[in-house]
Structure 1
């Protein structure tokens, strides 16, 4: 019995110290990562991309792109006199324009992105180009940007690294008289 009492202060002290080792943290917002799936296939990458665009999930949108080598090539007619704006367009500009768009969109609003007529062309086992027609319906509150429907051809250069596919390049191309994704990026990067 004496042995038990002599160890009690040590047990109490060690349990208090152990409790300090485990700190409670704030939970992540519900939409931050819950929609994300490891993009081990191109289809999963495109699903992550589509979901991030529709729900305006900036962290997941940014996760779709690969680092320093990423480039966006705008539709030349939509870029117009602002072509220099896109000269060094990288992942940080993707994030900035998307954040600006999100800030000007009601919290309950969602966009609608539909990709059709998709074609994949593999260059190697870890590199491909995905080409598809897109229709993007945007719901935002900035009345100076009027187009609600954007459409064109999206050509994504995708690469696999560490068994995950990422977008390494993006070329936008006009296919009709509608506004394009380039128009959206051009407007919201400066807002």
Structure 2
């Protein structure tokens, strides 16, 4: 079951005709916890998330068939435990784009994700690591076709956030 879209939900979303626009849509959706626009950033049935192996740990099987629906479900769960006006902040730095063809590339960057939420069992407020997005263009729109998370420090990674909020 989907929540009805708020009238202004679509106003943050631009047709992702360039990789930069896709990343802006993605970043804005993460910061505002806009589940509809977040889901629109991903491409259908072939999408896969590859977790950081250390963070996945004993829950590696949880990520074995992680698809767009799990992306939606974890963000919905996080949204339920966040204020009505989320104050998350996502920063991507050191971005590198590697094109395989005119319609496919890998975007690699370091991320820092500051999250503000109300679930006291999940204590981390800053997640960081390396994000590698496989992006593909179809019908002149770029979408995320794959996502590999990699820890870069002792801080928790995005994998930890997904693991916690898909289960709780």
Once the two structures are TM-superposed, the CA of residue 149 in structure 1 deviates from its matched residue by: 0.1
TM-score normalised according to structure 2 size: 0.96
CA RMSD of aligned residues (A): 1.0
Q: Which segments of 5 or more consecutive residues in structure 2 lack a partner in the other structure?
A: none
User: Does the alignment pair 1:47 with 2:32?
Assistant: no
Who is 2:10 aligned against? 33
Q: Which segments of 5 or more consecutive residues in structure 1 lack a partner in the other structure?
A: 1-26
SS of residue matched to 1:107: coil
Matches of 2:163 and 2:86 in 1, distance apart?
A: 21
Who is 2:158 aligned against? 181
Answer whether contact 2:103 2:137 (CA < 8 A) is retained. Answer: yes
SS of residue matched to 1:99: helix
Deviation string, structure 1 residues 37-70 (Cα, Å, up to 9, x no partner): 0000000000000000001100000000000000
More helix by share: 1
TM-score normalised according to structure 1 size: 0.85
- CA 176–187 in structure 1, closer or farther in 2 if over 3 Å, else same: same
If asked which structure has higher relative contact order (CA below 8 Å, sep 6+), I would say 2
The alignment covers a number of residue pairs equal to 165
Deviation string, structure 1 residues 151-184 (Cα, Å, up to 9, x no partner): 0000000000000000000000000000000000
SS of residue matched to 1:108: coil
Who is 1:9 aligned against? none
- Match for 2:66 among 67, 71, 89? 89
Once the two structures are TM-superposed, the CA of residue 28 in structure 1 deviates from its matched residue by: 5.5
